[in-house]
Structure 1
Amino acid sequence: MADYASRRTMMVDTQVRPSDVTKFPIIDAMLSVPREEFLPADKSESAYVGENITLAGGRTVLEPRTFAKMLDALMIDPADVVLDLGCGLGYSTAVLAQMAEFVVAVEDDSDRVGEAQQNLSEHGVDNAAVVEGPLHEGAKKSGPYDIIMLQGAAEQVPDTLLDQLKEGGRIAVVFAESALGVVRIGHKLDGAVTWRFAFNAGAPVVDGFAREADFAL
C-alpha cells in the first residue's frame, strides 16, 4: 500500500517550501489534506507529482508549487469568504476551507458537484459548499467575495466575475500568455481590478475563459 502521508510531506518539503512558500496556514493545510483522496482512483498514484493533473471534463488539479504560490500571493485571512472556480473533486476547496471562513466552489457538471461535495463531507469540511453552474458566471448569490481563485488558466476574465469581488478583495488567475503562462493577482480598489505579476506557471485554459475570436470581415 502506498505511503501517501510520506509523499505528502515530501511534496511540501521539495515542491512547496523551496518555492518560498513558508506561511504556516498554507503548509499546514497542504500537509493535512490527503490529495490522493480527491482524485479518481486511477490517478491517486500521481497525486504528489510536481505537475498538473488532468481530470475528466477539462478540469485540472494545479501542480502543488503553482497552487501553493497562488495561495501565498492571495494572503488569505481566516475571516475571508472564497470563491473557488473549477474545484474538480474538491481538493482545492478542502485546502482553502482550512485557511478561510467559508468557501463557495463552482462546478458545471452535476456528477462532479456531487462527488466533490461527498469528498468534502467525508473529510469533515463543513465550511464549504459546491454549487452547479458555468464557472465564468461565478456564484453571484453567495457573493461578494474576499478571494476568487480559478483552478486552471484563462485568456480573459469576464467582468461578471470581477463584479463579484469585494472592495479590497483579491483574485488569482493563471493567464495563458506566452509559452510559460503568467500568474497574476488582481486587487480591487475603487471598484476597479488592477492586475500584478506574481510568477510564471502554466495550466490548460478553462471552458468559458478563452478569448473570443476576432472575426475578420
Structure 2
Amino acid sequence: MTDTHTLAPPDFAAARRHMIESQLRPTDVSDPVVIAAMAVTPRENFVPASQRAIAYIDRSVPFANGRVLNPALSTGLMLTRAELSSGDKVLLIGAGTGYAAALLAGIVAHVVAVEDDRALVEQAQANLAGLANVTIVESALVQGHAAGAPYDLIIIDGAVDQVPDEIVAQLADGGRLLTGLNDAGVSRLAAGRRQGQAFAVVPFADTDIAPLAAFARPKSYSF
C-alpha cells in the first residue's frame, strides 16, 4: 500500500509571529521599529536549507563552518539597546549570512557588514542583493572597516573577550557599540558609548550569544 500522505510545509509566517510573542515581547525587546523589522524579515532564508525547520527556535542555528546564527532574542535585545535612528551609519562585524544586516537595512541609513568567511560572504551577498544601503566587506573581523569610519553605531554580532582599540577608534564621538562579552564561560550582552577618548562597555543582559574566535585573547603560558 502506497502512503499518499505528505508533510505540510512549515508555516514560517506563523513561526515568526510566535517568536515575537513568546520570545521577544516578554523579554524586553520593546522597540516597535525592531519588532516590525523582525516581523517581516524571513529568518529562515538566512540559515542552511537543512536547518530551516529550526530557524525560529530559541537558540543558535548552526552553519556548516562552526559559526552560527545567534538566537533572535540576542539580536532583538542588541538592536533595542542600540537606540537605532534613521540617520545612523552602522558597522556590523560578523555579518554571517546577513540576517542582522537585513534587519538594520530597513531602519538605518547605511550598513557596512564585515565578514571574513568566504562562504558566508557569498551567502550574504546573495541574501542582501536587493538592499542598496548595505555594503558587504570581506575582511578580518578584528580590523572592522576603518575606511568607512566614523560610525554612529558598531555591532559585533558575537561574544568577544575584549573590544580592540582599533574597533573603538572607528566610532564617532558619542557613538554606541553593542557586543557580547565572554566572562568565565558566561556570555553577556554589553553596551558602550565613546566620549572623546573614553570608552567602556557595561553588561546589560545574560543571554546566549556565540563567541567569535577572532576576538579571543591569546592564551597565556605559565612555567
* TM-score bucket (shorter structure): over 0.9
Q: Which residue of 2 aligns with 1:61?
A: 69
Asked whether the equivalents of residues 73 and 198 of structure 1 are also in contact (C-alpha less than 8 Å), the reply is no
1:20 has 2:20 as partner: no
Match of 1:4 among 8, 12, 18: 12
Q: Which residue of 1 aligns with 2:123?
A: 115
**Which 4+ stretches in 1 moved above 3 angstroms?**
none
Aligned residues: 215
State the Cα deviation string for residues 53-90 of structure 1 (Å, max 9, x = none).
22233322111111111111111111001111111111
- Distance (Å, rounded) in 2 between the aligned partners of 1:63 and 1:39: 12
What SS does the corresponding residue of 1:42 show, helix, strand or coil?
helix
Asked whether the equivalents of residues 61 and 151 of structure 1 are also in contact (C-alpha less than 8 Å), the reply is no
- In the alignment, structure 2 segments of 5+ residues that lack a partner are 1-8
Alignment of 1:159-170 (within 5 A): 159-170=165-176
State the Cα deviation string for residues 142-196 of structure 1 (Å, max 9, x = none).
1111111112111111111111111111111111113432211011001221222
Q: Which residue of 2 aligns with 1:210?
A: 216
What SS does the corresponding residue of 2:35 show, helix, strand or coil?
helix
What SS does the corresponding residue of 2:172 show, helix, strand or coil?
strand
What SS does the corresponding residue of 1:69 show, helix, strand or coil?
helix
- Distance (Å, rounded) in 2 between the aligned partners of 1:141 and 1:56: 31
Asked whether the equivalents of residues 137 and 161 of structure 1 are also in contact (C-alpha less than 8 Å), the reply is yes
Which is worse superposed, 124-133 or 196-205? 196-205
Asked whether the equivalents of residues 176 and 202 of structure 1 are also in contact (C-alpha less than 8 Å), the reply is no
User: Quick one: which amino acid aligns to residue 211 of structure 2?
Assistant: V
Q: Which residue of 2 aligns with 1:83?
A: 91
User: Quick one: which amino acid aligns to residue 73 of structure 1?
Assistant: R
Q: Which residue of 1 aligns with 2:103?
A: 95
Alignment of 1:169-184 (within 5 A): 169-184=175-190
Asked whether the equivalents of residues 4 and 36 of structure 1 are also in contact (C-alpha less than 8 Å), the reply is yes
- Distance (Å, rounded) in 2 between the aligned partners of 1:212 and 1:144: 28
TM-score scaled by structure 1? Answer: 0.94
Asked whether the equivalents of residues 71 and 208 of structure 2 are also in contact (C-alpha less than 8 Å), the reply is no
- Distance (Å, rounded) in 2 between the aligned partners of 1:56 and 1:78: 34
Match of 1:46 among 27, 45, 54: 54
Bigger radius of gyration among the two: 2
- In the alignment, structure 1 segments of 5+ residues that lack a partner are none
User: Quick one: which amino acid aligns to residue 92 of structure 1?
Assistant: A
* Cα distance, 1:110 vs structure 2: 2.5
RMSD: 1.3
Q: Which residue of 2 aligns with 1:74?
A: 82
